[in-house]
Structure 1
């Protein structure tokens, strides 16, 4: 009996347990159904406003500055090449690399023995030529005297012949005596002719002697010049470079022994692109004499000099762009061969605005502050890029305010809180429209787009939050996926803002402040 009682008691307890489990299941099922069929919980939301620095567009007359790199050269460079060869017997103390020499200073002297011997021979030849010329002069004088004497004899013989003819006519002398007189007159004329020929030869001898003297004098001049060239002097004041010889060295004719450079006659040679070259032409297509400034950074000390463009290279030299030269004055401390920065002042341009380079996007647009402090994307014309600044032409934006620094968190249509460089908020005079009903609340720590003060939202969507450009951290893949999933589940944020934040989260390093705000909204 006891066994049967215990069996019925166990069956009763089992049935009671089953009933309780079924009741619990029904209660759970009802709670789940009620939860699933209930309206989703809504939170009061407020539109996030991003703080961004803005700058005003002001058109002005600007002279763009073109920065290129170039090399300094000397306009006066001379290779010292002694014309005669020989042995160097003496060199100046200044004849060394970097030696400062004055114009006319003696730099080196070659062995003059051969040059002196050549000069002595030339002078001896000149003395012989002058002696021969004097002999020719004396012979010419004698020839002239002999011709005069022969002419007198011929006149006497002619007069005697005339007398004989008169006597023959009167029958005083015979025909034989007349013939003798004619023969004497004929011989006298022949003698005159012979003396004239001798005179011509004497005159030719004088001319030959003069020519010989002229040739030997040229030889003497060449020998004197060769002797003078054994001493090498500085043709102008400068600095020596590439000195290759010393005392006792043997050099050949026209061998380069050094290079003389004028360090004060400097010019800068620099290459510009075809587009940059076009900006340096006037209305007639001629290169303008634009002012330039060359700068050399030496261990923190900058050496500068002013100059002006003088000419351009005639050929392309198988390279792109154009090679331009600028004359430099007052270049203290600069030397030929220095690699310098050349700043060229281009012609003035009007109605040009100067903006930070970060304000201009790659597609040539800027974010302009529009009605209600919302951003509008406006295209502008890029004129120049100058370091961290850009020069643009945008007459439609005159006096308007644009975002100073573009970022992935700021885009068209976003409302911003404009800040000046001083950190003060820009007062535009427009009344910001009140937030629509349903937005607002003072809760902190809620999901993005729901917090009233933006403490729980990501940068760029909170009411007071601004994009952070501070510390960057690296995310592991699990943490990155968790943040992206939370971002996708947030329904109080515009899709464009979600896309920008998702793009930032996909980077290897993301702003630490953004991660902190997202995780704060997740309750982490």
Structure 2
């Protein structure tokens, strides 16, 4: 038992000593800092990692110990045996053997530019169907997810009130039409009487004039002239009476026509109310939501169902302004949905354009005229054909838009590029040595970028093993 206690005490003391030593070293680094000295000498190192050109993190070796040799101009020593050195002429720790690399021979060729962006699919038509009449839901004629055609009935309300209103409106219309017919008949008869009265009045006027002339010549008696005058006056009174009756009948006929028009409008309104007792699909779609059940009381404007178009979707993506300049309305696009990848063969999709990834056929519908002030990106709407209805709104989509062909272009793989504060660099092979070249890259094309400046075709580019290279390093090509 005593031995176990002593063993535990020794372990505790060792742990405490280790922690104390680590704290002491850390405190020494903080308090004393690193030691810097000028050292124009050659230094043997067992480890060398380049921090920047001509500046290395190294672990110096004891004198006369074989290792890599550096010509050191300045050395800054740190605890734990490490140091940062600056070489006299920017030389590097040369490996003893050539670096094994894989290369790719690049030549200028026409490259089809692709603009890749991501977004969420939306239904091209997404509508909430509402009841247009008040009533009680009597029948539900659809199921969630069911496809419906334009005009298909969705919900039927209790139609009895609407049917009674229609019957009353039709009765009023029939009554008004009967009154209109009677008014027309009366007007027609009075018009005939008016014509007869007018002819009679004209005849009595001629006779009156003739007898007045004869009486003035004293070839006829004054009594006969007076009789003609009285006959004319009686004909005029009859004409005025018939004319007044005709005008009153004509006004009544016009009023009856107005009543018929009103009755027709009321009948049509009652028919519309009865038709609105059946809620129908406004377009071919799939039912996304249902909001009512049998027995619910609804008012005009009450949501009944949500419909989304099933044959076409729209994907809104946002691209950089430089890419937006290369996207034209009507350009082909290939749209893929990671969550529906297994549906592609069933849908029979083909590439949207030569070189495009397999996906659903899409077309650019429009490009925003201005960039978003927050993201500095431009919105692009892409319509997606889905004739078999295998997709769903809300799916995450990858959109690849045809940006045209770039002649005489070079594609630089991402694996060949080294990024630093000074820019982007690649290594090319000249003879059996690697040469570092600064490049300016353009738009991304999959796992590569278009070269804008820095290389001339043809060129042999290092695509594997670049991390171990430096300018002038000997290389050994690996064969695939």
TM-score by length of 2: 0.69
The one of 134, 140, 160 equivalent to 1:113 is 160
Q: CA deviation at 1:75?
A: 2.0
- Which residue number corresponds to residue 98 of structure 2? 50
- Which residue number corresponds to residue 401 of structure 1? 460
- Which residue number corresponds to residue 319 of structure 2? 272
SS of the residue corresponding to residue 349 of structure 1 reads strand
* C-alpha contact 1:374 1:416 (8 A) present in aligned 2: yes
The CA distance in 1 between the partners of 2:224 and 2:266, in whole Å, is: 63
The CA distance in 2 between the partners of 1:357 and 1:153, in whole Å, is: 112
- Which residue number corresponds to residue 241 of structure 1? 288
Deviations 1:136-193 (A, max 9, x none): 1122123123313322432443344245335524646554553453243134224323
The CA distance in 1 between the partners of 2:314 and 2:457, in whole Å, is: 41
Deviations 1:392-412 (A, max 9, x none): 245853222232246554222
- Which residue number corresponds to residue 199 of structure 1? 246
- Which residue number corresponds to residue 369 of structure 1? 429
Q: CA deviation at 1:257?
A: 0.8
* C-alpha contact 2:106 2:457 (8 A) present in aligned 1: yes
Deviations 1:453-473 (A, max 9, x none): xxxxxxxxxxxxxxxxxxxxx
Q: CA deviation at 1:316?
A: 5.3
2:160 aligned with 1:77: no
The one of 379, 382, 394 equivalent to 1:323 is 379
- Which residue number corresponds to residue 392 of structure 1? 451
Deviations 1:318-365 (A, max 9, x none): 653222122222465321111111122321112222232131232133
* C-alpha contact 1:351 1:395 (8 A) present in aligned 2: no
Q: CA deviation at 1:317?
A: 6.4
The one of 380, 399, 402 equivalent to 1:345 is 402
Shift in CA distance, 331/61, structure 1 to aligned 2, threshold 3 Å: farther
- Which residue number corresponds to residue 312 of structure 1? 367
Deviations 1:366-414 (A, max 9, x none): 222235x33332233312234432332458532222322465542223x
- Which residue number corresponds to residue 411 of structure 1? 470
Over 6 Å off, 4+ runs: 40-47
The CA distance in 2 between the partners of 1:388 and 1:170, in whole Å, is: 127
Shift in CA distance, 385/331, structure 1 to aligned 2, threshold 3 Å: farther
The CA distance in 2 between the partners of 1:62 and 1:288, in whole Å, is: 21
Q: Specify the structure having the higher radius of gyration (Cα).
A: 1
Which structure shows the higher strand fraction? Answer: 2
* C-alpha contact 2:367 2:378 (8 A) present in aligned 1: yes
The CA distance in 2 between the partners of 1:395 and 1:96, in whole Å, is: 62
56-65 or 383-392: bigger deviation? 383-392
* C-alpha contact 1:65 1:386 (8 A) present in aligned 2: yes
361-370 or 244-253: bigger deviation? 361-370
* C-alpha contact 1:81 1:254 (8 A) present in aligned 2: yes
Aligned length: 373
181-190 or 80-89: bigger deviation? 181-190
The one of 229, 244, 261 equivalent to 1:214 is 261
Shift in CA distance, 314/278, structure 1 to aligned 2, threshold 3 Å: closer
Q: CA deviation at 1:299?
A: 8.6
- Which residue number corresponds to residue 297 of structure 1? 338
395-404 or 130-139: bigger deviation? 395-404
- Which residue number corresponds to residue 97 of structure 1? 144
123-132 or 388-397: bigger deviation? 388-397
* C-alpha contact 1:59 1:395 (8 A) present in aligned 2: no
- Which residue number corresponds to residue 20 of structure 2? none
SS of the residue corresponding to residue 210 of structure 1 reads helix
* C-alpha contact 2:128 2:307 (8 A) present in aligned 1: yes
- Which residue number corresponds to residue 438 of structure 2? 379
